[in-house]
Amino acid sequence: MNKFLKIITVSIASATLTLGITQAGASGTHGGGHAAQTNIGAPGKATDSSRTIEVNMLDNFYEPESITVNKGETVRFVVKNSGEFVHEFSIGTTAMHAIHQKEMMTMMEHGVLEADKINHDMMKMDMGGGKTMAHNDPNSILLEPGKSGEVVWTFAGEGKIEFACNVPGHYESGMMGHVEFM
């Protein structure tokens, strides 16, 4: 995809995200990280994981589209971005994703995120109050095209949990999946 089309895609995605947040009426603060918002679980250790699930991120969908876990299970997710754009794998509730989408929009507005690139040095920018744009929450990973990483998570088994990409416009385009409990 040429750079002009990527810019148009990002502009449309940004407008879509802004509209979606306004309609959702999301509220709250980021606090101690995305996972601190609700009791969805906690960071896990790879040595404690019962299994590994490979997640492939393509442009606006995941493979697999849903996962099944046990309450209290620790899962190691090996995540690969096989798409042409920056994508995220983030575990949370719908409300948590709505809050995080605002932060991701701020990252895009400040040039930290581009359609196909993360400006890592800019993530260190001071946003006031000691906050930076670092994307380092244990329930989430943000990857450029062709990159891989992992998230290790112990699921609490409470509430409706999903995994999603909160890059502006991606969630609204359907880039999310459900976590089902056995």
**85-107, pLDDT tens digit by residue?**
999 999 999 999 999 999 999 89
Q: What residue type is 45 in one-letter code?
A: K
For residue 153 the two structure tokens come to: 């998570």
Per-residue confidence (pLDDT) for residue 127, from 0 to 100: 67
Say yes or no to pLDDT of 72 above 50. Answer: yes
User: How far is residue 124's CA from residue 120's CA, in Å, rounded to a whole number?
Assistant: 8
CATH superfamily for 3-181 is: Cupredoxins -  blue copper proteins (2.60.40.420)
User: How far is residue 62's CA from residue 13's CA, in Å, rounded to a whole number?
Assistant: 18
Q: How many CB atoms lie within 10 A of CB 139?
A: 25
Residue-wise pLDDT tens digits, 134-163: 888 999 999 999 999 999 999 997 778 999
Predicted confidence band at 182 (pLDDT cuts at 50, 70, 90)? confident
Spatial CA neighbour of 92 closest among 20, 145, 31:
31
Per-residue confidence (pLDDT) for residue 14, from 0 to 100: 39
Q: What is the dihedral of CA 102, 175, 83, 127, to 10 degrees?
A: 10
5 or 44, greater pLDDT = 44
Cβ atoms of residues 39 and 156 within 8 Å: yes
Residue-wise pLDDT tens digits, 109-132: 989 999 999 999 888 877 667 777
Per-residue confidence (pLDDT) for residue 2, from 0 to 100: 47
Spatial CA neighbour of 63 closest among 74, 51, 77, 84:
77
Global pTM reads 0.79
Per-residue confidence (pLDDT) for residue 147, from 0 to 100: 98
Phi, psi for 166 (deg, rounded to 5):
-100, 15
Predicted confidence band at 37 (pLDDT cuts at 50, 70, 90)? very low
Packing angle between helix 3-24 and helix 94-109, nearest 10 degrees? 140
Could you give the count of Cα atoms lying within 13 Å of 23 in the half-sphere of its Cβ? 7
Say yes or no to pLDDT of 8 above 50. Answer: no
